[in-house]
Each structure stands twice: as C-alpha cells, then as structure tokens.
Amino acid sequence: MLPLALSGLAISFAGLAEPVLTIDRLTLPAGGRLAVTGASGSGKSTFVNLVSGLERPDSGVIRWQDTDITTLSESRRDRWRAANVGLVMQDFHLFAGLAAVDNVLLPARLAHAATAEVKARALALLSRVGLPRPGQSVETMSRGEMQRVAVARALLRRPGVIIADEPTASLDAEAGAEVGRLLIELAEQEGATLIVISHDERLTERLDRRIRLAAGRIVADTAPEASS
Amino acid sequence: MIRFVLADLRRLWAVSLVIVLLVALATALGVAVTLQERALRLGSARAADKFDLIVGAPGSETQLVLSSVFLQPAALPLMPGEVLTKLAADPRVAWAAPIGFGDNFQGFPIVGTTTALVSGTTAGFTEGRMFALEGEAVVGSGVDLPLGAEVKPMHGAAGEGGETHADSTYTVVGKVQPTGTAWDRAILVPIQAVWHIHGLGEEHEDEAHEAEEHHDEAGEEEHHHHGRIDADAPLVEDFDHDVPGLPAVLVKPKTIADAYKLRQEYRADGATRAIFPAEVLTSLYATLGDARTVLMYVAYGAQALVAAALMLIAVIHVAQRRRQIGALRAFGAPRLAVFGIVWLELLLLVAIGVGAGFGVGYGAAEFMAGLFTAQSGVRLPVEFTAADGVLAVTFLIVAALMAALPAALAYRQSPVEALRG
C-alpha cells in the first residue's frame, strides 16, 4: 500500500508549445482510490506513464512512499515498477499462444521472480477473477475474460498500487462492470492504492476521489483540500 | 523465457519458416559444395588406391589416369608390347597386367586384362569364378548382368555410330566384390580376346606398324583389322613374345623403392612414361580445389545476402513488435529479458536453419554422389569432418552477433513510445 505525492510536475513533448501535463501538487494516501477523467488529449495517458515510471517528467517529484521515481534510472524504474505497480491497460496486452496462467506469470518469469509461491498465487488469482481454467489459451477467451486475466496479472506480485488505464473501454457494459467491480474489490482486499483512468462513470463514481484533466491541468477535484 | 519464445515463434510461424528456409538454403549451398568436393577427392583417391604405377605411351598423364583408373573412354596412344614382356619379367615387379580398352557393352566398358589384375585389385568374387577361357568374362559389381549372360562387344560408344563385333561373344562367369571404383562398371575379359577381336597378336602383324597406326588414329580403329575370339581357347598370360601394342600396363611393384626405380626407368626412355596415379590426382585436386574456391565464394555471397535479408527482416520485425515489447517492459520485464527474447528468437531460428541446412546439404551431396556413382562407378564418400563442425559454430557465432543488433534496438526502445503507437 503506497501513498503518492506529486509536486511541481511538468512534462512537454518536442514540437508542442504547451506542456502536456502540469500538476503543481497532488497527494493520495496509501490505499486511496483515485479516478482520473478527461477528454482524450487531456494528459490522462501521460499521467499514467509518469506515475507508473514509464516516463520521466521534465521537472518535479513523483514520490511513492519514500521513493522519488524521477531520480531512478530507466532500468531501476523498470525494477521498481515490476515490484510495486500492477498495470491494467485498455488493450489487455496479453500474449497470444500462451495459456492464461502463463500470461499471468510472464512478467514475473522474465524478471526471475516466479517462485512456487508466486505460481500458486497465479492460480488462486485466476480462480478469484472467475476463470476456472488456467490452462486455457488466451486467444480463445472473450474480451471480458482477457481483461480479467490482465487483472490477475497486475495483482500477481502484490503491488502497492494498481494503475488501470481505461480498463473497461474496450469491453461491453456487462464485462466492464465485472472488471470494474473486481478492480475495486481486489485493491481493497490486497490493500493496494488504486488509480483508474477512465471515462466510464459507473466505474469512476465508485471511487473515493475523482480528478478531471483538461489541457494538461487538473480542472476539477472532488477533494481538493482533503488530499493535502 | 523459452516458453514465451516458443509461443512467439509459433505465433509468427510464417516469418519464422521463411527465415529458417533462407538460412537453410544458404547453409546447404556451402555445405553441399564442401562435402561434394571432399567426396570427389576421397572417392577418386580411393579409386586410384590399387593403381600403384601405370606405364603407358608418352602423352597426357591426366588422360592416362582418367582412362585406366576411371575407365573414361578416350583414344590413348599405344606403346610397344615388349614393354609388358619386360615388366612381367622384371624381378622388382610383383605383377604387371595389360589394360586394353575400346569396346563396351550396354554402356559398360569392356576391359581386356589378366587374372593377376582381377585378383590384385578386387576382394574376390560375390558369385561365379575367374575367367579361364578366352570367351569368358568377369563383371564388376555395378554391371547389371547375371552369370551366363552373353556379352557382344561393341566398338566405340553406342549411339555414336559404334559397331558390334557381331561374331564374338563372351559369357559372364563371375562377378567380383564391389570396390567403389570405376572398375565396378567394367566387364573384364582376357586381354588376348581383345587382341583377337581386333585382329592383333596371333596374326603376327608388324607390331611397330600397328602401334604407330593406333597412335595416329586413336579411337577410330581400322575396320579391316577385325578378327574374332576363339571362345574355347585357353588363357595365355605369359606375354613373353609377340605382344601387340598396348595403351597401358598396371604395375604392382614389390616395394616402394622398386616403384620409384621403375617409374624412373620407364619415364627416362622416351618410348614410355610411368606415372603414380595418386600423384597425378594430387595436381587434379588443385584444379578441383580452385573450382571449390570459386563455388565457395558464390556460397559466401549467398550467405551474405541471406544475412543482410535477415537483418532487414529482424529490424522490421522488431519495429512491428514495438507494442508487444513495450507492454513487456511496462508489465515489469527487465530490459535484458527483452533483449534476450529478441536475441534468442533470432538465434534459435538461425540455429534451426543451420541444422536443416547441414541436413539438406548432406542430402544434396549424397544425391549428387549417387548420380556420379551410377554414371562412373566411383563411390563418393560423403562425410562430415571436424572442419564442418567449426563452420557450423562459426555460423552460429556470426548469427549471435548479428542478432544482437535488433535485440539492442528492442532493448533501447522506450516502452511509452511503443505503447503510444
């Protein structure tokens, strides 16, 4: 369970005059549930990339508990992310040709972190997200089932934070509701901080706090003062 | 990682197959050339193994070897028959046997010789026995004739306006063990029969004149000299008088020192020449080696092209997999793991290709060797040596180095940009 503290964050892309994202200050307590909304191009994806350590800001601090990930090298950010962040993305990014359980285990295996305990946990998580056949090949699954595999994968290494980028956008309403419910339940159960980027109101309204981005700035926050 | 690599290759089976095929064909080309050249060298050396010293009339040494060891039809100049008389009586000679060619039957060369040569160059009979009468013949293992078959000699090659000696017939009485040489395709008959068919020897013709005529007119021997064999005449193999002109005599010296002395002696006198076939072959190998070098450069060129094509495919492939690679990184795969996956996939494909290429190259060399054997009788041993292992390892090392480039591209790729795409 990791608390987040952002300050003085700014990032620009070459060729664009305006910064893509500017956040003066944002904090989220450990175990907090944050929804980030906004139109496309508002900086939502950049937000995900920054807080997950995929990208480094031009300036500012991104502190997860005691670690300012902006000071880490790319390889160390990779390691930090592998150990602390569970990512769920709109496009699932499952690997065809591998069984569900192998997909869940793949990042851990590639990082040489797939112990017997981790393998047992992979099976337990698949069963928890309602997939009784861990050996099923992912390309034979429905989109809802695929995203549930991705949720299990995100939770495998007991991350301190779960970051979901439009987790329900490519699912039908029913499957989306199921995935949303699982994310919230599991984050609570596992004691993980949860950040969901989504424009799916049925999902975002179930989270404690919602911020809205427009043109790279926070333009609305359901709890502007409570956080600081 | 291996499991992921295998799943990935299965998913990309079409591209993988193309890469494997490209590598396999380029490898096979080089392997086939190497194996084939080696087989030719070994095969011809083995074929010449039993031919210690050959004495013939002055002329091309290469042609003398090709005609006597490999039974390649050609018109050889003749030397006086006394040479054989002298050699047969020489104390340094274990045995000396005439080799008389010119006739054939169904494409198999008919070679007139002696029992000494048949016993001296073969490992005995698979069936039947040695010829004992003038009208009997012994066939090589590659001659498709049963015992008792009748052989009607034909002069010159069939299809080239050859002519049969209609009234002369040999009967096959024995078949010798395979030797892996051109002589496996030969029909061996008593030399006296060959002389009689061509009207030589017993007619007491002027040998010098005869030799001269043969010398000039080569293969197109004069038709008016035809005689016939006396099928039931006993063998005469003393060669102590009135021996007709001969194209070649195979000499088995008693010792190596004798061999060198004999060669010296029969080379010096101007009327004959004496050669060690092994030595002549050595110079032929040099030519063969040059041809091999040229072919190897062609193979290297093909391999370089394939390598370049592979690099292209690999780089495009990495570009196409940006999202997948980016996702791997995003989900926590270390950069080195990403490098390893791309590197291992390429290396695995190349390794499979190289392995298949060695198989295909071997198969092709075997196939060509088979064709060659069917045509010439010379068995070509297609075999790998340690040098081929070195070649395979070299291929793999080069592939490992080359695969590092796309792998490094994947390693350096930013996951964010990849996922954004």
Q: Where are the domains of chain A?
A: 4-91+160-221
Classify residue B60: in a domain, yes or no. Answer: no
Total structural domains within chain B: 2
Token pair for residue B269? 């006198």
Residue B253 lies in a domain: no
Among B246, B271, B292, identify where a domain stops.
B246
The answer as to whether B197 is a domain residue is yes
Q: Are residues B332 and B204 in the same domain?
A: no
pLDDT in tens, B351-380: 999 999 999 999 999 999 999 888 888 888
The H or E element spanning position B297 is helix B277-320
- pLDDT per residue as tens digits for the range B281-320: 888 888 888 888 898 899 889 889 988 988 898 888 888 8
Mean pLDDT of B150-167: 69
Nearest CA in chain B to A77: B332
What does the pLDDT read at residue A144?
93
Question: Stretch A55-68: mean pLDDT, rounded?
Answer: 92
Q: Name the DSSP class of A16.
A: -
- In a 10 Å sphere around its CB, with 0-12 CB exposed, 13-18 middle and 19+ buried, how is residue B63 labelled? middle
Same domain? B93 vs B239: yes
Q: Report the distance separating Cα A10 and Cα A15, nearest Å.
A: 15
- Asked if residue B251 belongs to a domain, the reply is no
At which of B199, B228, B246 does a domain end?
B246
The reported pLDDT for the residue numbered B295 is 87
Q: Are residues B96 and B241 in the same domain?
A: yes
First-to-last alpha carbon distance for chain A, in angstroms, is 18
- pLDDT in the model for residue B216: 44
- Residue located via tokens 């010096």: B268
Same domain assignment for residues B238 and B303? no
Best of B331, B412, B413, B420 to substitute, by most chain A Cβ atoms within 10 angstroms, is B331
Alpha-carbon span A41 to B254, nearest angstrom: 98
Domain that holds residue B296: 2-45+283-420
Nearest CB to B335 within list A49, A78, A89? A78
B93 domain-assigned = yes
The alpha-carbon gap from A174 to the nearest alpha carbon of chain B, in Å, equals 26
| Second CATH level (architecture) for the domain A4-91+160-221 | 3-Layer(aba) Sandwich (3.40)
Which candidate from B8, B334, B414 shows the least CB-CB separation from A79? B334
Q: How far apart are CA A178 and CA A128, in angstroms?
A: 12
Rg (CA), chain A: 17
Judged by average pLDDT, the poorest of A200-204, B116-120, B343-347, B413-417 is: B413-417
Say how many C-beta atoms besides its own lie within 10 A of residue B339's C-beta: 20
**Inter-chain touch A82–B332, beta carbons under 8 Å:** yes
Same domain, residue pair B363 and B225: no
Of the pLDDT bands very low, low, confident and very high (cuts 50, 70, 90), residue A67 is very high
pLDDT at residue number B94: 92
Q: Are residues B12 and B140 in the same domain?
A: no
B162 and B36 inside one domain: no
pLDDT (tens digit per residue) in B168-221:
889 999 999 998 888 998 999 998 888 888 776 544 444 444 444 444 444 444
In a domain, B124, yes or no: yes
- Among A113-122, B15-24, B151-160, B362-371, the range scoring the smallest mean pLDDT is B151-160
Q: At which residue do the structure tokens 């008593």 appear?
A: B190
Residues B229 and B298 in one domain: no
- State residue B211's pLDDT score: 44
Measure the N-to-C terminal CA separation of chain B; round to a whole number of Å. 25
Cα gap B341→B350, rounded to integer Å: 14
Q: For the ranges A63-67, A198-202, B268-272, which has the lowest average pLDDT? A: B268-272
From the list B122, B225, B111, the residue with the least C-alpha distance to B170 is: B111
